[in-house]
Structure 1
Amino acid sequence: MFTSVARWTVRNRWPVVGTWVVALVGCIILAGMFGGDSITNFADDDRTESGRALSTLNAAVGGSAADEAQVVVVTDPSVPGGVRNPVVREQVDALRERITAIDPDTRMVDLYSPTLSPDIAISPDGTVGYTTLTVPAESDSERSALVAEIKATTEQFNAPDTRVNFAGDWFAEEAPAGLGEAVGLGLAMVILLIAFGTLVAAGLPLLTALFGVGVGASVLMLLQNVVDTPNFAVSLTVMLGIGVGIDYALLILTRFRAQLAEGVDVPEAVVAAMDTAGRSVAFAGATVTIAIAGLLTQGGVIGPTMTLAGCAGVLAVMVAALTLLPALLAIIGTRVNKLAIPGLRTRPGTDGALAQRWSRTVQRYPWGGVLVALAILIVLSIPVLDLRLGFGDAGNRSAEDTTRIAYDDLARGFGDGANGPLFLVTEVPSGGGGVAQLEALAGRLDTTNGVAAVSPPIPLGTVDGAQVAMLTVTPTTGPQEPATIDLVHHIRDSVVPQSGLSVELTGVAVGGNDFAELTLSRLPLMIAVVLICSFLLLAMAFRSLVIATKAIVMNLLSLGAAFGVIVAVFQWGWGMELVGVGKVGPTEAWVPIVLFAVAFGLAMDYEVFLVSRIRERFLATGDPTTSVTEGLAKTARVITAAAAIMVCVFASFIFFDDRGLKAMGLGLATAVFIDATIVRMLLVPATMEILGRYNWYWPRWLDRVPSLDSAHRSETADEVTSPEPTVSTSR
């Protein structure tokens, strides 16, 4: 099939390129005109208690907690009267009028209202005050526009020795759009120039990836009309697509240039490259897609949206590598080596002498290589034992961010717990008894260890004819502290059952913990699905139970090391300044599931690239030792270049403001680096040398299982037959 498709593409190269140009331009235009908007509001997941409580609260008040932020006013201790100073009050009132005038639905509660309200407060020393700001919007972009206007009008606030900041995720500072993508693309181009030595060859993988990413991201934006997606979904699609797309094109282009160097004419060189490297790309793309699809087991909103974001980029760039790239190669032909960079000119098709020497060294001392590799991976994985899931907040942001300043001011004025109050929501039974029960519950909470303050019962409204009320509990500890989660469990397990009411808890700390627990409860199913599917694909592709098992074990080891690095940086604070993290905190609850799926799929790419070449040489020679040496030599350069590109692209995630994306980028970069170095260059050749012909063990009773034929085709020799243990040599 690959041969037929490749020949058809070569014959119709201009129509294929034209089709891609039309598809890219058309998708971008459609996305610009009809693309949906992101809606980042996934807190009300009815599968959790906090989600159900938040839904009830929102229904009762007729709005959404996601629309609310806080305006925090802070005065210097030298200001007489603090926040109540007449000049300060005049400026705050003027700010409220300007903000209210921006949009009829935007509302800022009067900080100086005499009515007791949980929406406003002034600290006991009078230097810190906050009021609630409601910014309703239908989409992220609409709210971002309102937030920008609010920030602009705040610049007119000029009370002496007084500052105004905002508490709320929407007011967080954002890096310039496209900065991360630009850095990733720039570094990728530098590596491609080093790898190929010519502008033409270096530009082709980048061009192919951009075409695929452009189509994939546009399709995702169109799908946002029917599927709610977070605001970072498109960024994830773009960055993942760029990294994977360049790698896929790099592999095919390398094989094409090697064919040209051997004297093969252009059409046949394209066909040969697609029939070998193209097969690996197709199989690698399928494994990555299947691994990402494992996120569907998470259910809810996060599973489908992250699956769409990941698969949109991977599938689009894979199709581009299998159709657009061969058409471009057929058009460019031998000019692929033109515009050489002085000092960087490479000789395509040459074996890697350094890689051969390295492989022989590892194979000479295989047990030493295994022990060294395992020692490194185990040490890097140790921090995983301290993995704590949750969600970061403004306290983790840069000290210059307005939301971080507001966070610290609220903690100083009202205590650490003011940044993460707990909300106890209940339907009050008709009659006076329900109110009395709620007041009794407030009394018990007020004497509970770890509680700083409890509000009186606050009526919210009605839901389906039932009166809904709420208690606000302020912990003594911050929302990310383990003690706060302990308090949540104590209230749920011991205090609430005594009230006789059906009470549900919600809030920042509660929602993060509930989501983390839900994620962990579904994680084993996702891991099982991904591992089983990956094992079956690899076993059918390489006709080897050993290769499939070994690949899964090694991938898990590299993933453990990646998770360990994330914990060390984001939870322990090692080098956190380098990635722009302001303070340690829990690992974002969604990161482990997405990282596992994506990184596991990407690790399969390198497994396919390396082992398929080793199998190709084994089929040609029947020698398990030389096949490893030659296979590593043939792939070392391309795997190194591909890994370097992916590391740079994923590391550029640190330029994003979202803490989860930073952790995701660091984890992916670490996983790829470890997989392409310690695993592929040390652990794989060492273990394959130890196992010898057992690497290709395939019981005869499994011969009826169909082969996916993903490995590179042998070009120089017939298949060989192996003695017991039974070794598959079918292709």
Structure 2
Amino acid sequence: MAAFLYKLGILAAQNRKKVLSGSLAVLIIAVSVGLGMGVHLNGEMTIPGTKSEEAMKVLKEEFSQGEGTEGGTIQVIFKAPDGQTLESESTQKMIAKTLKSISKDSEIASIVSPYEAGTISYKKEIGYAVITYKSEALQVTDASKELVLESVEKARKEGLQAELGGSVELSGLEIGGISEIIGIIAAFMILAITFTSLLAAGLPILTAVIGLGIGVMSVIIASNFIEMASFSLILAIMLGLAVGIDYGLFIISRYRQNLVEGKGVEESIAHANATAGSAVIFAGLTVIIALAGLSVTGIPFITVMGVAGAFTVLVAVIISVLVVPALLGFAGERIRPKSKTASIQDPPKVIEQSNRWGRTITKYPLPIALAGILLLGAISLPALHLQTGLPDKGSKSIETTERRGYDLIAEGFGPGMNGPLAIILKAESIDDAQETFAKVGKNLSELPNVAMATPPVSNATGKVAMVTIIPGTDPKSEKTTELVHSIRDKAATIKQQDQVEVMVTGATAVNIDISEKLNEALPRFAVLIVGLALILLMMVFRSVLVPIKAVLGYLLTLTATLGFVVFVVQDGNLAKFFDIPAAGPVLNFLPILTAGILFGLAMDYEVFLVSRMREEFNHSGNAKNAVLSGLKNSGSVVTAAGLIMIAVFASFIFVEDVMIKSMGLALAFGILFDAFIVRLTIVPAVMTLMGRSAWYLPKWLGRILPNIDVEGESIEKEPKSKKEIAS
């Protein structure tokens, strides 16, 4: 690999104009096609085969109001002015006026007022109308939404509180914009401080933007052919930007070190591409495999999300080993470190192979390792009571009309009204079916935590009925989850005694099933990537203990990250600081997504740091000097890379959407824990304690494992004449 990348680096530098113009041409084509086709992120977060999904199919088949898709709905929730009720004449006129204004939209199939449907609270102060559209919720136009928003705003000005809810999303997901800009600016500042050169700082940003543009536009194009949730694009943006900058940083940093050591420009480029480029390819490969490995969960929207992220990382890797060398060919000597004035004619200088942090760690390895492990262990503790779910409108900011509508429904009708359960009853025969349905419905209504249960409503055949159960708690509550399980547990007895099949569905039940399915898939996925890590790292480092240490460090990072997310998102600590509107369950796909992404990124830092240690150990045979050299030569680069990753991911913490916020929080602090506590503290301390045994590999295993040259050993052994021929 190193020999190939060495030659590729020289060719890219010598043909820099063609490489750069070619990459820009690909970017322009991708942008043109992507913008021309448009974004079609309409995939749903569902898992085929779950009990609630099967019940939902029955519900749609048996209670369909005709052919076509189920229309999206908007609830308009009203609260009467102080001193009045919804039955007051003036309030009725305002509500009628508001609904009449909304009814001008030709895309509306029906509007049912609170007076027609009887959807008025016991105290007559709160009620809601239901607007049903001809098209699905995701297809309702912006013009239709705008008309509703304008109409309720007029009602508010007249003194009537009017808020919105329903299946139609009124506040779109933030994709692209200020978060990315903040991340790029922060990354540029970190690079400028690291390199003390604006030109050098700009190169990784430029290559990352090229790679990000090609990768993200490719995902947008794919969204026209594949069902894809909006989070797929968000994840692609996060990862493409973060790894794109980091991979460019690693190669450029090694190039500058080569210049200081006395190598010429082309030789420095080729050597940087052979060594740091090899590490970039291997590190990128681990991220790609980890993300693509999400497909083992068997969950479609997670699989698509992983593949989209993996593709943007692949593009970032290709751009790094091809376009970065070309840009370095343009930059030449202009980005040589200013503190090192040696020219290419000067003999190589002897560089001090240690720094203060390295000397401190190698002097006190045991207490430092224990301190790091205990710190992350303490942060991990809240993960023991992890509760996952899908944020709903109650998780939004109080500034949004959806959150205010959610609160009004809870105030007027009870918290369970925001998450009703649809119970499907299927009789084996229609003989006495109605009496049996009534009996079953009564039995279910007597279960704990049932606030209300409607009488069974039969379909046209009389063989299927639906009962709506309102829980006594909100959709995110553990008691609501327990109620769903209680109904399913009772279903077996009902089936045996009454020959009626009982199924539970509705948005709340679907979310519960998705969360539980994802939680079940997490251990299987973790075992897969841990096993993969052990094999790959053994091949790279030719060691048994280094991979084991790397995997244990990753597991410590993962548990600490989940513990911190639970501490903030679920328990509500520091919620105001991170602008989290309300404490609630952790996003259900966040643990498995975090496990995959952090695995790849943790292995990035492991490879960049430990490969430099191995390179020195191969040269000197001194294990302690290898640790010192790794921290001296790669420590500052890993520090800068970690800070860049944190800056990019943290820029997504302060967006409005709670899902994106929790993803940014988990990844930013996951990188903080891994880069600075695990890789730069615990790893060198443990490597010092292991000494030469860290690099032990049984001879029989060494013969089996392929030798992956990440440190550029083949380049060092290659005769000089061959290098000259290659150039």
Q: One fold, TM greater than 0.5?
A: yes
Kept in 2, the 8 Å contact 1:291–1:534? The answer is no
Cross-structure match for 1:42? 45
Kept in 1, the 8 Å contact 2:522–2:591? The answer is no
After superposition, residues 97-116 of structure 1 pair within 5 angstroms as 97-105=100-108, 107-113=110-116
2: CA distance, partners of 1:524 / 1:505: 27
| Secondary structure of the corresponding residue to residue 115 of structure 2 | coil
Shift, 1:426, TM fit: 3.2
Letter in 2 for 1:134: T
Letter in 1 for 2:53: G
Q: Does structure 1 residue 615 correspond to structure 2 residue 618? A: no
Q: Does structure 1 residue 522 correspond to structure 2 residue 521? A: yes
Shift, 1:152, TM fit: 2.8
Kept in 2, the 8 Å contact 1:351–1:633? The answer is no
Cross-structure match for 1:241? 240
Within the candidate set 69, 74, 80, 2:79 is matched to 74
Shift, 1:140, TM fit: 4.3
Kept in 2, the 8 Å contact 1:444–1:495? The answer is no
Letter in 2 for 1:12: N
Q: Does structure 1 residue 471 correspond to structure 2 residue 474? A: no
Cross-structure match for 2:57? 55
Shift, 1:66, TM fit: 8.1
Letter in 2 for 1:108: I
Kept in 1, the 8 Å contact 2:69–2:136? The answer is no
Gap change, CA 1:40 and 1:93, over 3 Å in 2: farther
Shift, 1:696, TM fit: 0.9
Kept in 2, the 8 Å contact 1:543–1:707? The answer is no
Shift, 1:524, TM fit: 2.1
| Secondary structure of the corresponding residue to residue 702 of structure 1 | helix
| Secondary structure of the corresponding residue to residue 131 of structure 1 | strand
| Secondary structure of the corresponding residue to residue 232 of structure 1 | helix
Kept in 2, the 8 Å contact 1:37–1:141? The answer is no
| Secondary structure of the corresponding residue to residue 225 of structure 1 | coil
Gap change, CA 1:571 and 1:151, over 3 Å in 2: same
Gap change, CA 1:355 and 1:410, over 3 Å in 2: farther
After superposition, residues 148-187 of structure 1 pair within 5 angstroms as 148-158=146-156, 160-168=158-166, 170-172=169-171, 178-187=177-186
1: CA distance, partners of 2:351 / 2:390: 46
Shift, 1:224, TM fit: 1.1
1: CA distance, partners of 2:122 / 2:268: 78
After superposition, residues 528-607 of structure 1 pair within 5 angstroms as 528-607=527-606
Shift, 1:139, TM fit: 8.1
Q: Does structure 1 residue 90 correspond to structure 2 residue 93? A: yes
Q: Does structure 1 residue 485 correspond to structure 2 residue 481? A: yes
Gap change, CA 1:108 and 1:191, over 3 Å in 2: farther
Shift, 1:432, TM fit: 5.2
Letter in 1 for 2:34: A
2: CA distance, partners of 1:620 / 1:717: 11
Cross-structure match for 2:724? none
Q: Does structure 1 residue 133 correspond to structure 2 residue 136? A: no
Kept in 2, the 8 Å contact 1:613–1:711? The answer is no
Kept in 2, the 8 Å contact 1:369–1:682? The answer is yes
Shift, 1:64, TM fit: 6.2
2: CA distance, partners of 1:431 / 1:632: 76
| Secondary structure of the corresponding residue to residue 124 of structure 2 | coil
Gap change, CA 1:461 and 1:362, over 3 Å in 2: farther
Q: Residues 381-419 of structure 1: CA distance to partner in whole angstroms, max 9, x if unpaired?
A: 000101011112122221221111111111110111111
Gap change, CA 1:236 and 1:451, over 3 Å in 2: same
1: CA distance, partners of 2:532 / 2:428: 51
2: CA distance, partners of 1:460 / 1:69: 25
Kept in 1, the 8 Å contact 2:69–2:135? The answer is no
Kept in 2, the 8 Å contact 1:453–1:474? The answer is yes
Q: Residues 267-300 of structure 1: CA distance to partner in whole angstroms, max 9, x if unpaired?
A: 1111011011100001100011111112101113
Kept in 2, the 8 Å contact 1:123–1:414? The answer is yes
2: CA distance, partners of 1:527 / 1:213: 28
Kept in 2, the 8 Å contact 1:523–1:593? The answer is yes
Gap change, CA 1:207 and 1:140, over 3 Å in 2: farther
After superposition, residues 489-500 of structure 1 pair within 5 angstroms as 489-494=485-490, 497-498=493-494, 499-500=498-499
Letter in 2 for 1:125: K
2: CA distance, partners of 1:94 / 1:714: 79
Q: Residues 603-660 of structure 1: CA distance to partner in whole angstroms, max 9, x if unpaired?
A: 0000000000000000110000111101111011111111001001111121333322
After superposition, residues 199-278 of structure 1 pair within 5 angstroms as 199-278=198-277
2: CA distance, partners of 1:142 / 1:422: 25
Shift, 1:174, TM fit: 5.8
1: CA distance, partners of 2:464 / 2:655: 40
Shift, 1:428, TM fit: 4.8
Shift, 1:143, TM fit: 4.5
Q: Residues 351-380 of structure 1: CA distance to partner in whole angstroms, max 9, x if unpaired?
A: 997962221221122111121111101001
Kept in 1, the 8 Å contact 2:192–2:198? The answer is yes
Which deviates the most, 129-138 or 512-521?
129-138
2: CA distance, partners of 1:351 / 1:37: 57
Kept in 2, the 8 Å contact 1:477–1:484? The answer is yes
Cross-structure match for 2:373? 374
1: CA distance, partners of 2:37 / 2:136: 16
| Secondary structure of the corresponding residue to residue 134 of structure 1 | strand
Shift, 1:718, TM fit: 7.5
Shift, 1:238, TM fit: 0.8
Shift, 1:145, TM fit: 5.2
Gap change, CA 1:377 and 1:100, over 3 Å in 2: same
Gaps of 5+ in 2: 343-348, 719-727
Cross-structure match for 2:346? none
Shift, 1:172, TM fit: 4.0
Q: Residues 182-232 of structure 1: CA distance to partner in whole angstroms, max 9, x if unpaired?
A: 221121111111111222111110110111011111111111122211122
- Sequence identity of aligned pairs in percent? 33
Shift, 1:176, TM fit: 8.6
1: CA distance, partners of 2:351 / 2:394: 50
Gaps of 5+ in 1: 339-344, 720-731
Letter in 1 for 2:258: Q
Gap change, CA 1:600 and 1:710, over 3 Å in 2: farther
| Secondary structure of the corresponding residue to residue 423 of structure 1 | strand
1: CA distance, partners of 2:644 / 2:598: 15
Shift, 1:160, TM fit: 4.1
After superposition, residues 636-675 of structure 1 pair within 5 angstroms as 636-675=635-674
Letter in 1 for 2:658: R
| Secondary structure of the corresponding residue to residue 79 of structure 2 | strand
2: CA distance, partners of 1:379 / 1:353: 37
Cross-structure match for 2:723? none
| Secondary structure of the corresponding residue to residue 576 of structure 1 | coil
Kept in 2, the 8 Å contact 1:615–1:711? The answer is no
**How many residues are matched?**
702
Gap change, CA 1:690 and 1:524, over 3 Å in 2: same
Q: Does structure 1 residue 711 correspond to structure 2 residue 707? A: no
Kept in 2, the 8 Å contact 1:137–1:143? The answer is no
2: CA distance, partners of 1:98 / 1:227: 38
1: CA distance, partners of 2:135 / 2:218: 24
After superposition, residues 406-417 of structure 1 pair within 5 angstroms as 406-417=405-416
What's the TM-score once normalised by structure 2's chain length?
0.91
| Secondary structure of the corresponding residue to residue 703 of structure 1 | helix
Kept in 1, the 8 Å contact 2:77–2:405? The answer is yes
2: CA distance, partners of 1:659 / 1:92: 32
Gap change, CA 1:102 and 1:651, over 3 Å in 2: same
